[in-house]
Amino acid sequence: MTKRNKIIYWIATIWLSLGMLSTAIVQLSKAKEGPGAINSMTHLGYPIYFLTILGFGKILGVAVVLIPKSPLLKEWAYAGFFFSMSGAAISHIVMRDPFGEIFPSVLLLNLTMVSWYFRPASRKIASVALT
């Protein structure tokens, strides 16, 4: 892995982790932080308990992405981030929300793809030749 790719990976991964962690905290503290997260979920048509599921999933995903080894778990975490953020972006687009509401999920979706693409070989699943 080149030094350039390593820098790209760590910048994307740190920003992704901070973004996922901060949104997880807001989602898990939904009752304490005011009605913002709750209003957003009801506006999109999702049940309120979905905030708890997303919050815990994001915290677990961040932990898995940051710890060394466990490449299979990392694939699952990246997949979870991808589906969560693409689902959020599509939900906001379908509801015709302004770009300011769509942008955070699109940004985290792009950071997920960049972090996944530039991850080091030690964080990838070894390919198996089928012969």
Stretch 92-121: mean pLDDT: 96
Residue 118 is encoded by which pair of tokens? Answer: 């530039």
Cβ proximity of 16 and 115 under 8 Å: yes
Stretch 29-58: mean pLDDT: 84
What residues have CB less than 8 Å from 123, skipping those under 6 apart? 68, 71, 74
Which pTM does this prediction carry? 0.89
Does residue 35 surpass a pLDDT of 80? no
Percent of all residues in the chain with a pLDDT value above 90, rounded to a whole number: 75
**Half-sphere exposure (Cβ direction) of 17: Cα atoms closer than 13 Å:** 16
Task: Give CA angle at 14 (12, 15), nearest 5°.
Answer: 65
Domain extent listing, the chain? 3-118
Instruction: Give the pLDDT of residue 128.
Output: 57
Does residue 131 surpass a pLDDT of 80? no
What residues have CB less than 8 Å from 45, skipping those under 6 apart? 91
Does residue 75 surpass a pLDDT of 60? yes
